[in-house]
Structure 1
Amino acid sequence: VIAAEGEQKASRALKEAAEVIAQSPAALQLRYLQTLNTISAEKNSTIIFPLPIDLLSHFLPKA
């Protein structure tokens, strides 16, 4: 039961974050850069191919 409640809270937080990012293209850009920074800071063998947000926008649904 406790795990299910945690999952519900996490789902709500994720939904709220998605709504904020959907309302602000700058927020999406900042999150993208934060993610790239986090991945590149780790000591691993991950290969990153950063793509322009404009290119990715063609794959997103239009509102």
Structure 2
Amino acid sequence: MEIDTSKFGEVLREIANNDINNVLNGTTVLHGQQRIGRRFYNSNLVDQYALPKGAAIPKTMKQIK
């Protein structure tokens, strides 16, 4: 059976949009989040953390920026 990837993508987008709408409508509650208008704020994601000493990332590794 061959899977139609475009139909699969449409179904995933529909599921994701429904889940996001449930969060925005208050049906799904996100614990640990502070709602600001129509956005959510989590202070834990804003604060940066330091790597332990000696845990330098090699320059040869590709990093996400």
TM range (shorter): 0.3 to 0.5
TM-score (norm 1): 0.44
Task: Name whichever structure is richer in strand by fraction.
Answer: 2
Bigger helix fraction:
1
Q: Which has the larger radius of gyration?
A: 2
TM-score in terms of structure 2 length: 0.43
